Amino acid sequence: MIKTQDVKFKGRHFNLAGRLFFPENFDETVEYPTIVVTHPTSATMNQPSTIYATKLAENGFVTFAFDASYQGRSEGEPRYIEDPANRTTDIMYAIDYLNTLPNVDNDRIGAMGICAGGGYTINAAKTDKRIKAVGGVAAASAGMAYRESFGPDDQLIEKLNEVAAQRAAEANGAEPMMTQFIPNSPEEYAASGMDALDIEEAVDYYRTPRGADEYAPNKLRFSSLALMLNSNPADMVDKLLTQPLQLVVGDKVGNFGSYRFGHEIYNKAASKQKHLNVIEGVSHYDLYDQAKAVEPAVEILAKFFKENL
Protein backbone atom coordinates (compact mmCIF):
# COMPACT_ATOMS: atom_id res chain seq x y z
CA MET A 1 0.00 0.00 0.00
CA ILE A 2 1.30 3.45 -0.94
CA LYS A 3 1.46 5.85 2.01
CA THR A 4 1.08 9.58 1.50
CA GLN A 5 1.79 12.74 3.46
CA ASP A 6 0.15 16.09 2.82
CA VAL A 7 2.51 19.03 3.31
CA LYS A 8 2.80 22.78 2.89
CA PHE A 9 5.91 24.16 1.23
CA LYS A 10 7.23 27.59 0.34
CA GLY A 11 6.48 29.09 -3.04
CA ARG A 12 7.71 32.50 -4.17
CA HIS A 13 5.38 34.61 -2.03
CA PHE A 14 3.18 32.14 -0.13
CA ASN A 15 2.75 28.48 0.73
CA LEU A 16 1.71 25.76 -1.67
CA ALA A 17 -0.06 22.50 -0.87
CA GLY A 18 1.63 19.26 -1.83
CA ARG A 19 1.47 15.52 -1.28
CA LEU A 20 4.33 13.06 -0.95
CA PHE A 21 3.88 9.46 -2.07
CA PHE A 22 6.20 6.82 -0.61
CA PRO A 23 7.04 3.45 -2.18
CA GLU A 24 6.13 0.22 -0.43
CA ASN A 25 8.60 -0.82 2.27
CA PHE A 26 9.84 2.76 2.45
CA ASP A 27 13.16 2.92 4.32
CA GLU A 28 13.88 6.21 6.09
CA THR A 29 17.63 5.56 5.88
CA VAL A 30 17.62 5.44 2.06
CA GLU A 31 17.76 8.29 -0.46
CA TYR A 32 15.27 7.63 -3.26
CA PRO A 33 14.97 8.79 -6.85
CA THR A 34 12.09 11.25 -6.81
CA ILE A 35 9.61 12.52 -9.40
CA VAL A 36 7.60 15.77 -9.34
CA VAL A 37 4.17 15.36 -10.97
CA THR A 38 2.40 18.49 -12.29
CA HIS A 39 -1.34 18.69 -12.92
CA PRO A 40 -3.22 20.05 -15.97
CA THR A 41 -4.98 23.42 -16.16
CA SER A 42 -8.28 23.47 -14.24
CA ALA A 43 -7.14 20.45 -12.19
CA THR A 44 -5.69 19.77 -8.75
CA MET A 45 -3.23 17.27 -7.38
CA ASN A 46 -6.19 15.02 -6.46
CA GLN A 47 -6.91 14.13 -10.08
CA PRO A 48 -4.50 12.64 -12.70
CA SER A 49 -1.45 13.76 -10.70
CA THR A 50 -2.41 11.43 -7.87
CA ILE A 51 -3.01 8.55 -10.28
CA TYR A 52 0.46 8.87 -11.83
CA ALA A 53 2.19 9.70 -8.54
CA THR A 54 0.68 6.60 -6.93
CA LYS A 55 1.59 4.28 -9.77
CA LEU A 56 5.14 5.59 -10.04
CA ALA A 57 5.53 5.18 -6.26
CA GLU A 58 4.48 1.56 -6.78
CA ASN A 59 7.51 1.33 -9.06
CA GLY A 60 9.90 2.38 -6.30
CA PHE A 61 10.02 6.18 -6.56
CA VAL A 62 9.19 8.83 -4.04
CA THR A 63 6.77 11.09 -5.90
CA PHE A 64 5.42 14.56 -5.21
CA ALA A 65 2.24 16.20 -6.49
CA PHE A 66 1.05 19.70 -5.63
CA ASP A 67 -1.60 22.32 -6.33
CA ALA A 68 -0.64 25.29 -8.49
CA SER A 69 -0.35 28.78 -7.06
CA TYR A 70 -3.74 30.53 -6.72
CA GLN A 71 -5.55 27.22 -7.13
CA GLY A 72 -6.72 24.19 -5.16
CA ARG A 73 -5.46 24.18 -1.59
CA SER A 74 -2.42 26.30 -2.38
CA GLU A 75 -2.40 29.91 -1.27
CA GLY A 76 -2.38 32.99 -3.47
CA GLU A 77 -4.70 35.89 -4.18
CA PRO A 78 -6.53 36.64 -6.36
CA ARG A 79 -7.89 33.15 -6.81
CA TYR A 80 -8.26 31.12 -10.02
CA ILE A 81 -5.35 32.60 -11.94
CA GLU A 82 -3.66 30.38 -14.53
CA ASP A 83 -0.23 31.96 -14.95
CA PRO A 84 2.29 29.92 -17.01
CA ALA A 85 5.23 31.76 -15.42
CA ASN A 86 4.03 30.88 -11.93
CA ARG A 87 3.09 27.35 -12.98
CA THR A 88 6.69 26.92 -14.18
CA THR A 89 8.32 28.33 -11.05
CA ASP A 90 5.94 26.28 -8.86
CA ILE A 91 7.80 23.21 -10.14
CA MET A 92 11.12 24.79 -9.18
CA TYR A 93 9.85 25.58 -5.68
CA ALA A 94 8.61 22.00 -5.39
CA ILE A 95 12.16 20.87 -6.14
CA ASP A 96 13.49 23.38 -3.57
CA TYR A 97 11.31 21.62 -1.02
CA LEU A 98 12.42 18.17 -2.11
CA ASN A 99 16.05 19.28 -1.82
CA THR A 100 15.49 19.66 1.94
CA LEU A 101 14.20 16.13 2.51
CA PRO A 102 16.62 13.48 3.78
CA ASN A 103 15.03 10.69 1.76
CA VAL A 104 15.33 12.44 -1.62
CA ASP A 105 18.42 11.84 -3.73
CA ASN A 106 19.04 15.34 -5.07
CA ASP A 107 21.04 13.94 -7.97
CA ARG A 108 18.10 11.80 -9.09
CA ILE A 109 15.11 14.12 -9.38
CA GLY A 110 12.83 13.81 -12.38
CA ALA A 111 9.70 15.68 -13.39
CA MET A 112 6.64 14.86 -15.41
CA GLY A 113 3.34 16.53 -16.15
CA ILE A 114 -0.04 15.82 -17.65
CA CYS A 115 -1.60 18.04 -20.36
CA ALA A 116 -0.54 21.65 -19.70
CA GLY A 117 1.39 20.34 -16.70
CA GLY A 118 3.61 18.59 -19.23
CA GLY A 119 4.17 21.88 -21.04
CA TYR A 120 5.03 23.62 -17.79
CA THR A 121 7.40 20.77 -16.86
CA ILE A 122 9.21 21.15 -20.19
CA ASN A 123 9.41 24.89 -19.57
CA ALA A 124 10.93 24.36 -16.12
CA ALA A 125 13.42 21.76 -17.34
CA LYS A 126 14.83 24.14 -19.92
CA THR A 127 16.49 26.19 -17.18
CA ASP A 128 16.35 24.07 -14.01
CA LYS A 129 18.98 21.40 -14.48
CA ARG A 130 18.20 19.83 -11.13
CA ILE A 131 15.60 18.03 -13.25
CA LYS A 132 17.57 15.07 -14.57
CA ALA A 133 14.83 13.45 -16.67
CA VAL A 134 11.62 14.85 -18.17
CA GLY A 135 8.31 13.10 -18.85
CA GLY A 136 5.07 14.23 -20.43
CA VAL A 137 1.69 12.50 -20.70
CA ALA A 138 -0.53 14.17 -23.29
CA ALA A 139 1.77 17.15 -22.74
CA ALA A 140 0.29 20.32 -24.18
CA SER A 141 0.80 24.04 -24.53
CA ALA A 142 -2.05 25.87 -22.80
CA GLY A 143 -1.08 28.98 -24.74
CA MET A 144 -1.33 27.24 -28.10
CA ALA A 145 -4.65 25.63 -27.21
CA TYR A 146 -6.19 28.95 -26.19
CA ARG A 147 -4.72 30.90 -29.09
CA GLU A 148 -6.21 28.42 -31.54
CA SER A 149 -9.56 28.32 -29.74
CA PHE A 150 -10.11 32.00 -30.47
CA GLY A 151 -9.71 31.53 -34.21
CA PRO A 152 -7.97 33.92 -36.61
CA ASP A 153 -5.49 36.52 -35.37
CA ASP A 154 -8.01 39.36 -35.52
CA GLN A 155 -10.28 37.47 -33.11
CA LEU A 156 -7.33 36.79 -30.84
CA ILE A 157 -6.52 40.50 -30.70
CA GLU A 158 -10.19 41.23 -30.04
CA LYS A 159 -10.06 38.88 -27.05
CA LEU A 160 -6.93 40.59 -25.74
CA ASN A 161 -8.69 43.95 -26.07
CA GLU A 162 -11.55 42.55 -23.99
CA VAL A 163 -9.07 41.41 -21.34
CA ALA A 164 -7.43 44.85 -21.33
CA ALA A 165 -10.77 46.60 -20.86
CA GLN A 166 -11.75 44.26 -18.03
CA ARG A 167 -8.42 44.68 -16.29
CA ALA A 168 -8.77 48.47 -16.47
CA ALA A 169 -12.28 48.19 -15.05
CA GLU A 170 -11.10 46.02 -12.17
CA ALA A 171 -8.27 48.47 -11.43
CA ASN A 172 -11.01 51.04 -10.95
CA GLY A 173 -13.05 48.93 -8.59
CA ALA A 174 -15.13 46.64 -10.79
CA GLU A 175 -15.84 43.14 -9.57
CA PRO A 176 -13.36 40.54 -10.89
CA MET A 177 -14.69 38.77 -13.95
CA MET A 178 -14.72 34.99 -13.75
CA THR A 179 -15.10 32.67 -16.69
CA GLN A 180 -14.78 28.90 -16.99
CA PHE A 181 -12.38 26.53 -18.69
CA ILE A 182 -15.06 24.23 -20.14
CA PRO A 183 -18.86 23.84 -20.07
CA ASN A 184 -20.07 23.06 -16.57
CA SER A 185 -21.98 19.89 -17.43
CA PRO A 186 -22.59 17.44 -20.27
CA GLU A 187 -25.94 19.16 -20.80
CA GLU A 188 -24.28 22.57 -21.13
CA TYR A 189 -21.82 21.11 -23.61
CA ALA A 190 -24.63 19.58 -25.69
CA ALA A 191 -26.51 22.89 -25.70
CA SER A 192 -23.39 24.79 -26.81
CA GLY A 193 -23.39 23.19 -30.25
CA MET A 194 -19.65 22.50 -29.99
CA ASP A 195 -18.20 19.44 -31.67
CA ALA A 196 -14.73 19.01 -30.17
CA LEU A 197 -13.43 15.68 -28.87
CA ASP A 198 -11.15 17.10 -26.19
CA ILE A 199 -13.74 19.51 -24.80
CA GLU A 200 -16.42 16.81 -24.76
CA GLU A 201 -14.08 14.45 -22.94
CA ALA A 202 -12.89 17.21 -20.59
CA VAL A 203 -16.50 17.79 -19.52
CA ASP A 204 -16.95 14.05 -19.01
CA TYR A 205 -13.83 13.95 -16.84
CA TYR A 206 -13.98 17.18 -14.83
CA ARG A 207 -17.70 17.83 -14.58
CA THR A 208 -19.05 14.37 -13.71
CA PRO A 209 -18.31 12.00 -10.82
CA ARG A 210 -15.63 10.38 -13.00
CA GLY A 211 -13.02 13.00 -12.08
CA ALA A 212 -14.75 15.95 -10.38
CA ASP A 213 -12.94 17.47 -7.40
CA GLU A 214 -14.28 20.07 -4.98
CA TYR A 215 -11.04 22.03 -5.23
CA ALA A 216 -11.27 22.28 -9.03
CA PRO A 217 -14.42 24.38 -9.56
CA ASN A 218 -13.90 25.17 -13.28
CA LYS A 219 -13.25 28.84 -12.58
CA LEU A 220 -10.75 31.06 -14.37
CA ARG A 221 -10.09 34.73 -13.71
CA PHE A 222 -10.72 36.29 -17.11
CA SER A 223 -7.75 38.64 -16.99
CA SER A 224 -5.31 35.72 -16.72
CA LEU A 225 -6.20 34.70 -20.27
CA ALA A 226 -3.64 37.26 -21.40
CA LEU A 227 -0.93 35.41 -19.47
CA MET A 228 -1.74 32.12 -21.20
CA LEU A 229 -2.07 33.59 -24.67
CA ASN A 230 1.53 34.80 -24.54
CA SER A 231 2.94 31.43 -23.47
CA ASN A 232 4.81 28.90 -25.60
CA PRO A 233 6.83 26.18 -23.82
CA ALA A 234 8.24 25.03 -27.17
CA ASP A 235 10.39 28.16 -27.38
CA MET A 236 14.12 27.42 -27.10
CA VAL A 237 13.73 23.68 -26.55
CA ASP A 238 16.19 23.19 -29.41
CA LYS A 239 18.85 24.87 -27.28
CA LEU A 240 17.83 24.45 -23.65
CA LEU A 241 15.94 21.16 -23.28
CA THR A 242 18.90 18.81 -22.95
CA GLN A 243 17.76 16.21 -20.40
CA PRO A 244 16.53 12.73 -21.35
CA LEU A 245 12.95 13.11 -22.54
CA GLN A 246 9.98 10.73 -22.63
CA LEU A 247 6.67 11.79 -24.17
CA VAL A 248 3.48 9.72 -24.31
CA VAL A 249 0.48 10.65 -26.46
CA GLY A 250 -2.63 8.95 -27.78
CA ASP A 251 -3.35 8.62 -31.50
CA LYS A 252 -6.92 9.97 -31.22
CA VAL A 253 -6.15 13.56 -32.11
CA GLY A 254 -8.11 16.30 -30.34
CA ASN A 255 -8.26 20.07 -30.48
CA PHE A 256 -6.05 20.67 -27.43
CA GLY A 257 -3.08 19.73 -29.59
CA SER A 258 -1.20 17.26 -27.37
CA TYR A 259 -0.52 14.87 -30.26
CA ARG A 260 0.92 17.70 -32.35
CA PHE A 261 2.76 19.28 -29.41
CA GLY A 262 4.33 15.96 -28.49
CA HIS A 263 5.72 15.56 -31.98
CA GLU A 264 6.90 19.17 -32.05
CA ILE A 265 8.82 18.86 -28.78
CA TYR A 266 10.25 15.48 -29.77
CA ASN A 267 11.50 16.83 -33.08
CA LYS A 268 12.92 20.08 -31.66
CA ALA A 269 14.35 19.05 -28.29
CA ALA A 270 18.12 19.22 -27.88
CA SER A 271 17.97 16.05 -25.76
CA LYS A 272 20.35 13.41 -27.04
CA GLN A 273 18.12 10.74 -25.56
CA LYS A 274 14.47 11.28 -26.39
CA HIS A 275 11.45 9.06 -26.97
CA LEU A 276 7.90 9.60 -28.20
CA ASN A 277 5.44 6.75 -27.65
CA VAL A 278 2.05 6.87 -29.36
CA ILE A 279 -0.56 4.61 -27.76
CA GLU A 280 -3.11 3.39 -30.27
CA GLY A 281 -6.84 3.88 -29.75
CA VAL A 282 -6.29 6.34 -26.92
CA SER A 283 -7.40 9.96 -26.52
CA HIS A 284 -6.03 12.85 -24.49
CA TYR A 285 -8.44 12.23 -21.62
CA ASP A 286 -8.06 8.46 -21.70
CA LEU A 287 -4.52 9.20 -20.51
CA TYR A 288 -5.93 10.88 -17.40
CA ASP A 289 -7.55 7.86 -15.80
CA GLN A 290 -8.46 5.01 -18.14
CA ALA A 291 -6.58 1.76 -17.53
CA LYS A 292 -6.11 1.03 -21.25
CA ALA A 293 -4.08 4.24 -21.49
CA VAL A 294 -2.66 4.82 -18.01
CA GLU A 295 -1.18 1.35 -17.55
CA PRO A 296 0.98 1.39 -20.69
CA ALA A 297 1.90 5.04 -20.05
CA VAL A 298 3.10 4.22 -16.52
CA GLU A 299 5.03 1.21 -17.79
CA ILE A 300 6.81 3.45 -20.32
CA LEU A 301 7.49 6.19 -17.77
CA ALA A 302 8.66 3.84 -15.02
CA LYS A 303 11.17 2.21 -17.35
CA PHE A 304 12.36 5.61 -18.57
CA PHE A 305 12.84 7.07 -15.10
CA LYS A 306 14.54 3.92 -13.78
CA GLU A 307 17.04 4.16 -16.63
CA ASN A 308 17.68 7.89 -16.19
CA LEU A 309 17.49 8.60 -12.46
In tens, the pLDDT along 90-111 reads 999 999 999 999 999 999 999 9
* pLDDT tens track for 262-307: 999 999 999 999 999 999 999 999 999 999 999 999 999 999 999 9
223, pLDDT greater than 90: yes
Query: CA-CA distance, 29 to 102, in Å (whole number)?
Result: 8
Residue 152 has pLDDT above 80, yes or no: no
Q: What is the pLDDT of residue 149?
A: 84
pTM greater than the 0.85 cutoff: yes
- In DSSP notation, 129-155 reads TTEEEEEEES---HHHHHHHHT-SHHH
Which pLDDT does position 1 carry in this prediction?
85
Using alpha carbons, list the distances in angstroms from residue 252 to 205, 257, 260: 16, 11, 11
- List, for residues 187-203, the tens digit of each pLDDT value: 999 999 888 999 999 99
What backbone torsions phi and psi does residue 134 show, to the nearest 5 degrees?
-125, 130
